[in-house]
Structure 1
Amino acid sequence: MSDERVIDPEGAYIWDGWGTCLSWWANTELGARDDLAAALFGLETVRVESSGRAIELPGLGLNIVRYNLGACTWTDGSAMVESPAIVRRKQIETYHDGEEWNWRADANQRNMLVKARDAGADTFEMFAVSPPWWMTVNGNPSGAEQGEQDNLEFQYQDAFARFIATVAGRARDEWGIRFSSVEPFNEPSLDGWHARQNQEGCHFTLGAQEAVIACLRRALDEHGLDDVLIAASDECRYADAVDTWQKFTDGTRRLVGRVNVHAYEPDEKGGSRTRLREAVGEELPIWQSEYSEGQPDGMAMALSISRDIRYLQPTGWVCWQPVEALDWGLLDGEYDDRTPNPNGGAPGTLKGQVGGVNTKYHVLAQYTRHIRPGMRILRSGHANTVAAHDPSARRLALVTVNDGRKRTVNYDLRPLTRDRNAARMWVTDASDAPGARRYTRCADADSRDGLLTVVHEANTVTTIEVDGL
């Protein structure tokens, strides 16, 4: 079985990079781990401690870090209400309890934020999952009593915006972290954010979103953060993002510097992704700002990346939790979510360790180590191949996911070259069979007269680098 892919530079756009959110995993003691910072945000080979043994991993080189602005406090006399389903690691400590600022809060997540910067990350975004509990209608940062109800008190819309701007200013002035963007919402249109669910969350109607965005732009400008853009609205699904964007007034759209969207809609044929890109237009950037699922082999993730880049044309791609249990992470996270917390009502502690590595860690490495920030994303001619070009190095990177049987792919590079060029290759097998490859360097191939032929084994992700283009 064979097919052809024509690599076309027409319509190329600049890549911002790859990233991850901090939130729950970095809220635990894992936020103090140098080896995790090096593995996730650096490019060197790293030995990561895992359940008493070390695992050698290629650094992913993630350069985008999304920092979760928390909503919980446990000060004396606090009236915060805790969901009966939430565990401690999913409660992020906030900096203001309604009376006083506490800049020592959220130490673990802040620790990893700085470690990520020192390891090589260079693009930072702060996002709020819920306003601080004392700004909510019911004092519960997990949501309102009913999921379709807004949980930010109307009277606190401006205060919420000023709170975000104040923390962003503090990060710039005291932490050495410049947030290039802030996102005040997280899946705001969902009706699942209610007082009994298992994480922080907040529903926002369209009018509430528009009001907060306007307040936030004023607050950022007043704090001397006029260069910080507002991202919105981090909707759960591409179709939700289309609906929200189309209903925003022109005035609100002008205040949004980037559209963020999550990837929890399969959208296998790309229709919703295409509609979102068309609704937003070619000029405004989009990030796929949260992706996750519980499939450890990485094939679903690779297919989602390919569809995003072909149909949505995002400038950045972000995974949710890189260290998480039940195969949801790149690395397997082992957390104590049962022991009562002495400082609050939620069960669980902030203990955590790495239990192992999932194949999808190596699958993501196929993309992140070769498609680097500043490269140009090209048209590949196929939904399963991502193509990127580095003009300064004159290097082309091709990443192809083959989720079916063995096939031969002919890559037509003639729009870029007609010379003979060596092609380096790396492969990850989506299987646990003996000898399965994990980001393994393979034998080189040659392009001749601008044509490159590669045989892709079944259920593989292959990266190809060609120089001199």
Structure 2
Amino acid sequence: MTSAEFPLSLKRIVAMLADRVPIVRGASRRVIAGLAVVGATTAATPAPIALRTVTVTLRPAIDRPSTRFEGWGTALAWFANVTGGWPEADRSRLADLFYGAKGLGWTIARYNIGGGGAADAKPYLRTGAAVPGFWRLPPGVAGTDWRADDPLMWDWTQDANQRWWLDAVRDRVPGAIFEAFSNSPPWFMTVSGRVSGAERRTDDNLLPGREPLFAAYLARSVAELQRRHHIRFRTLSPINEPNTDYWYAANTQEGAHWSPARQAAMIDAADTALKAERLTTVIAAPDETNARLFLADLAAYPPETLARIGQLNVHSYGTLYQTGVRDAARAAGIRLWMSENDTPLDGDRENFDSMPSALAFADHVVADLKRLEPAAWIFWQAVENLSGGNGKPTSNWGLIKADLAAPAAGPHAIHVTRKYWAMAQFSRYIRPGYRLVAVDDMDSAAALSPDGATLVLVHVNGGIAPRRLAVPAGWRVQAVRTDATHDARCVAGLIAPPQSVTTLILTRGGARTTCA
């Protein structure tokens, strides 16, 4: 155990101390080291347990090879499919919260090219998840007769809500990075006739031999969106979490299983289609759900398929073998993104001020930055739906909560959660162009500015003892904190309280700090 680690769980500590605190009827809670423990009762409030301050010495290795960071962002599916149709004031407020200079300062957006279900199918996808496709089936034309080279078989009026976000990001972020991604082929290219997956979870759902047709659909969509919105998609990801058992016909979101062999065929076809459109967009793949499956997919690709990939994408819903993904990307000489994650704490019910979920999220980001060393870190769905009307709270997914099922005209209450502020501890200070650097502490991630004059350290203290953060000599320091009473606020001193996220902005050589 190092001085920076505190492995005892709160539950275990409570159990260890139970014989020291009498429990009787009538009181509502007891306090342990300043933390309220709901459900326990005491005859009188005891004094907090005296815990010494732990010193954590942060030792960044700023001279080792490191990753140039490109930024933070989100997938626009599915919240953009809803919120892009809200009144201008509401949707612009959301865009400012994420992409504005005074918001999170994100610089990356992943646009979802919808597959699109059959027009006569009964709606079955979850709120916001029915992203329209750009195809059209004119009267008398069956899905089997759809052709990508026929202008009459396209409808570019579709998906106006999500497309509003393309303009909003473009206008707020000079040099924004856009990626297009797909969750499923259009319904008429699938085996099941549904964009949610095949009847069996591990069956491929794209009809055999339809890779070129689906690839043409994606590439033409990329080309037309670029032209209409005056943006550039740097990458196209044609498959999503492919080698999993998540996707099946009765599911409530778009998805498709792809065996590694079909993945390779689709990557080859998509790259060929992009080149046929004369686009500079390159392939990102495989967008696998975790590092273990990512490595299995990659190992099965022929060398010629790997050569077509311009960016490796991995999700971090599992944390095993992440350094293996890092090493595979380095060995292949291909840029690596962590392209999807959200980490609410299991069992932590919806609570806009929840620190447990904020801490779990921040801890996960630190671990991803340390193990994967990605060039970007992308959130899943930045706005999540509020709990249902049955009075039972759901979960703390998302950074902002809103009623996505409410009429578009509103009004729309926008609830900024504590997880949003935990995200701010990273994205406001680790900026595009910074280099991720190693730091000798399990709970800290670090990045160095391009000129070497600013060093940013983000430290997560999920324990019950305060920590004194010792930093390298020769730097001026400012601290920013998110905890139960601070929302990414500047604070004095170098103490990281229990249950907090602290960002240290270290500057030297007369550089100005970024904490205001």
- TM bin, normalised by shorter chain, reads 0.7 to 0.9
User: What residue identity is the alignment partner of 1:290?
Assistant: E
In the aligned structure 1, how far is the partner of 2:299 from the partner of 2:329?
8
1:361-400 residue pairs with structure 2 within 5 A?
361-392=420-451, 394-400=453-459
Question: SS in structure 1 opposite 2:498?
Answer: coil
User: How many aligned residue pairs are there?
Assistant: 416
Matched residue, 1:66? 110
Give the C-alpha shift of residue 408 in structure 1: 3.1
CA contact (8 A) 2:189 2:210 kept: yes
Closer, same or farther: CA 350–381 of 1 in aligned 2, 3 Å:
farther
| 2:307 is the alignment partner of 1:254 | yes
Matched residue, 2:184? 130
Give the C-alpha shift of residue 412 in structure 1: 4.6
1:195-274 residue pairs with structure 2 within 5 A?
195-225=249-279, 227-265=280-318, 267=319, 271-274=320-323
Closer, same or farther: CA 29–438 of 1 in aligned 2, 3 Å:
closer
Match of 2:496 among 456, 466, 469: 456
Closer, same or farther: CA 263–333 of 1 in aligned 2, 3 Å:
farther
Give the C-alpha shift of residue 209 in structure 1: 0.6
User: What residue identity is the alignment partner of 2:98?
Assistant: L
In the aligned structure 1, how far is the partner of 2:267 from the partner of 2:110?
19
Structure 1, unaligned runs of 5 or more: 45-58, 338-347, 446-453
Matched residue, 2:10? none
CA contact (8 A) 2:362 2:423 kept: yes
CA contact (8 A) 2:130 2:253 kept: yes
| 2:75 is the alignment partner of 1:21 | yes
Matched residue, 1:175? 229
Closer, same or farther: CA 92–82 of 1 in aligned 2, 3 Å:
same
Name the structure where strand makes up a greater proportion of residues: 1
Matched residue, 2:205? 151
CA contact (8 A) 2:83 2:404 kept: no
| 2:335 is the alignment partner of 1:285 | yes
Higher relative contact order (CA 8 A, sep 6+): 1
CA contact (8 A) 2:84 2:164 kept: no
Give the C-alpha shift of residue 317 in structure 1: 0.4
Give the C-alpha shift of residue 409 in structure 1: 4.3
In the aligned structure 1, how far is the partner of 2:499 from the partner of 2:416?
19
In the aligned structure 2, how far is the partner of 1:29 from the partner of 1:397?
33
Matched residue, 1:328? 397
Question: SS in structure 1 opposite 2:66?
Answer: strand
Matched residue, 1:49? none
In the aligned structure 2, how far is the partner of 1:69 from the partner of 1:352?
28
Question: SS in structure 2 opposite 1:399?
Answer: strand
CA contact (8 A) 2:127 2:405 kept: no
Structure 2, unaligned runs of 5 or more: 1-53, 138-145, 147-152, 346-353, 386-394, 510-516
Matched residue, 1:55? none
In the aligned structure 2, how far is the partner of 1:351 from the partner of 1:125?
30
In the aligned structure 2, how far is the partner of 1:136 from the partner of 1:175?
29
Alignment TM-score, normalising by the size of structure 1: 0.84
1:350-381 per-position Cα deviation (integer Å, ceiling 9, x unaligned) = 97934412101001001000000011111111
User: What residue identity is the alignment partner of 1:463?
Assistant: T
Match of 2:462 among 403, 416, 427: 403
Match of 2:490 among 441, 459, 465: 441
Match of 2:366 among 300, 306, 309: 306
CA contact (8 A) 1:335 1:351 kept: no
Q: How high is the sequence identity, in percent, across the aligned residues?
A: 31
Match of 2:344 among 294, 298, 305: 294
In the aligned structure 2, how far is the partner of 1:300 from the partner of 1:235?
22
In the aligned structure 1, how far is the partner of 2:410 from the partner of 2:209?
37
In the aligned structure 1, how far is the partner of 2:170 from the partner of 2:374?
23
**CA RMSD, 1 decimal:** 2.1
CA contact (8 A) 2:444 2:459 kept: yes
Closer, same or farther: CA 141–351 of 1 in aligned 2, 3 Å:
farther
CA contact (8 A) 2:421 2:482 kept: yes
Matched residue, 2:39? none
Greater displacement, 166-175 / 368-377: 166-175
Question: SS in structure 1 opposite 2:93?
Answer: helix
In the aligned structure 1, how far is the partner of 2:324 from the partner of 2:215?
30
User: Which structure has the bigger radius of gyration?
Assistant: 2
In the aligned structure 2, how far is the partner of 1:71 from the partner of 1:82?
16
CA contact (8 A) 1:306 1:384 kept: yes
User: What residue identity is the alignment partner of 1:263?
Assistant: S
Matched residue, 1:428? 482
Closer, same or farther: CA 367–68 of 1 in aligned 2, 3 Å:
same
Alignment TM-score, normalising by the size of structure 2: 0.77
